[in-house]
Amino acid sequence: MSARVALVTGGTGGIGTAIVRRLADSGYRVATNYRNEDKARAWQAQLRADGYEVALAAGDVTDHVAAEAMVREIEGQLGPVDILINNAGITRDGTFHKMKPDQWQDVINTNLNSIYNVTRPVIEGMRERKWGRIIQISSINGLKGQYGQANYAAAKAGMHGFTISLARENAKLGITVNTVSPGYVATDMVMAVPEDVRAKIAADIPTGRLGRPEEIAYAVNFLVADEAAWITGSNLDINGGHHMGW
């Protein structure tokens, strides 16, 4: 059997890149989407210099027509998508009483509506082949909320509602659906926060530090394995103890 195909949306970002690398290290054929071709080609060239060959396809995940075209392009390059990591996400922070409609819609479209747009074109093939892995990359703030992030928290919480429903619908067909909810990870977005603010965040984390993108990628790699076939409908918190539930 040829190596399985993994699609990671938002794969050129900090967590996305770590996931792409980890899945490639495990022998999967990996692809991601892009909106800015120059940036994506530079990213691809850097990974190629590091020994990774990653397929690229243009695709705006907020548009269902563009998302389906992106999936079909990747299938043309690599074959049917067996593993889908819904990782694309943005922030447009602001207190709700001052939040503009575009701040709300942009975040909901990119973080939540996108998972319909990208999952819908791959789910039928997974059901026919009776194997699949789908993972949503949510957030600690979808669990506990965050000041100034009503839009982001709503979208990230909605991702797990999607997970548990899709998991029930497809469990008997060899398809698992799970959520990973990272805490504060040292990506470019987080590192752009003023140092004193980051220090306060780290001080509130029991492990005393921010997470690393590679630690999130490790969890994703675990959940897509054949041996993880009995794990579905779950949310895996990875936050250094910053938020604990059961």
Catalytic residues: 152
Q: How many CB atoms are located within 10 Å of the residue 18 CB?
A: 23
Token digits of residue 100: 């503009």
* Percent of residues in the chain assigned helix, strand, coil, to nearest 5: 50, 15, 35
Give 7's contacts (C-beta < 8 A, 6+ positions apart): 30, 31, 32, 33, 71, 74, 81, 83, 84, 85, 118, 122
By CB neighbour count within 10 A (0-12 exposed, 13-18 middle, 19+ buried), where does 225 fall?
exposed
Q: Say if CB 177 and CB 233 are below 8 A apart.
A: yes
User: Cα–Cα distance between 34 and 178 in angstroms, integer?
Assistant: 24
Q: What are phi and psi of 237, to 5 degrees?
A: -80, 130
Q: How many helices (H) and strands (E) does the chain have?
A: 10, 7
Give 31's contacts (C-beta < 8 A, 6+ positions apart): 5, 6, 7, 8, 11, 54, 55, 56, 57, 74, 77, 78
What is the residue whose two structure tokens read 């009503």? Answer: 150
